[in-house]
Amino acid sequence: MQKRKLGNSGLEVSALGLGCMGMSFSYGPAPDKKEMVTLLRAAVERGITFFDTAEVYGPFTNEELVGEALSPVRDQVVIATKFGFELDPNGGPQWIGLNSSPAHIKVVAEASLKRLKIDVIDLFYQHRVDPNVPIEDVAGAVKDLINEGKVKHFGLSEPGAKTIRRAHAVQPVATIQNEYSLWTRTPEAEIIPTIEELGIGLVCYSPLGKGFLTGKISESTSFDKTDFRNVLPRFTPEARKANQALVDLLGKIGQEKNATPAQVALAWILAQKPWFVPIPGTTKLHRLEENIGAANIQLSPNDLHEIESAASKIKVQGDRYPEKLMKMTGL
């Protein structure tokens, strides 16, 4: 597995990371924990060094899983986690609001260190921008944690361009995490030019469109009642039918490359910039291996031009999130 550096931060990770959320949260009933521990260790054996989790995934169970699985190989991996949500004090499964107060950030950091069984968090993201806390205060709190040796790098997830600049002026931002794929290209307008100027990396979450770009989901697919895709506008049957054209395009390119649609989708991201790192998630070993195979697919300038030309004629239908959640992004 090739390595990539996330901007000018010096943070080096595998060209593909692994998003761990779905191993315990969001995509229906959680899989067997022992199987997920085995899968995480299999990822390390296959060269993946970058793992993404958050306290809110579960809550807490995902960090605990990642900590248990990766503690024997701690010196080989980079672990990213996140702060920024106010969780139900009664232990309910849903967050009840945003909270990026400096005091809360430090409490979350201590708890995450314990759950992850580590003595330093490699990459600590603000999960969503909190409009009630100046971003300078957030960056300052993480700077304190870095000075204390509890965090190595600072990141932001789904911020706006102005927020990035303000945070970066207080504490250098190593990387931004945004949804980015062939069907979610909004970061190209402002975010990517801003972070390129500032020397900040881009971690691409949902690089396979929450599974849609694999070609395994159609307009007739039904999801478990606990699967959060049920509430996403882009996953209505009508939207899936309209968006199938993008999957067909990936399939066409894949036939020419002897690759799957998912592999082409990931290879496309890797071909954009050398400081882009996609973090597809999976709960299955064969999907993990399929995703890793994308790192070996070379898309020529002609391939990229063909994809760009065809994709420009396809209008993706449906918002990424319901209106309430869209308001929590800077895009």
DSSP string of 156-169? Answer: EES--HHHHHHHHH
Confidence of residue 331 (pLDDT cuts 50, 70, 90): low
Say which amino acid occupies 163: T
- How far, in Å, CA of 69 to CA of 80, rounded? 14
pLDDT tens across 106-121, in order? 999 999 999 999 999 9
Q: Please identify which residue in the block is written with the tokens 């593909």.
A: 16
Q: 157 pairs with which residues across the strands?
A: 177
Task: Report domain extents, the chain.
Answer: 3-326
3-class DSSP assignment, residue 248: helix
**Residues classed as catalytic:** 57
* The CATH number of the domain covering residues in 3-326: 3.20.20.100
DSSP string of 29-76? Answer: SPPPHHHHHHHHHHHHHTT--EEE--TTTTTTHHHHHHHHHHGGGGGG
The answer to whether the beta carbons of residues 155 and 80 sit under 8 Å apart is: yes
Whether pLDDT at 203 is above 80: yes
The answer to whether the beta carbons of residues 235 and 229 sit under 8 Å apart is: yes
DSSP string of 136-148? Answer: HHHHHHHHHHHHT
The answer to whether the beta carbons of residues 260 and 215 sit under 8 Å apart is: yes
Question: Of 252 and 28, which is predicted with more confidence?
Answer: 252
Q: 184 pairs with which residues across the strands?
A: 181
pLDDT of residue 25: 87
pLDDT of residue 90: 79
pLDDT tens across 60-100, in order? 999 999 999 999 999 999 999 999 999 988 777 788 999 99
Strands 12-14, 3-5: pairing is: antiparallel
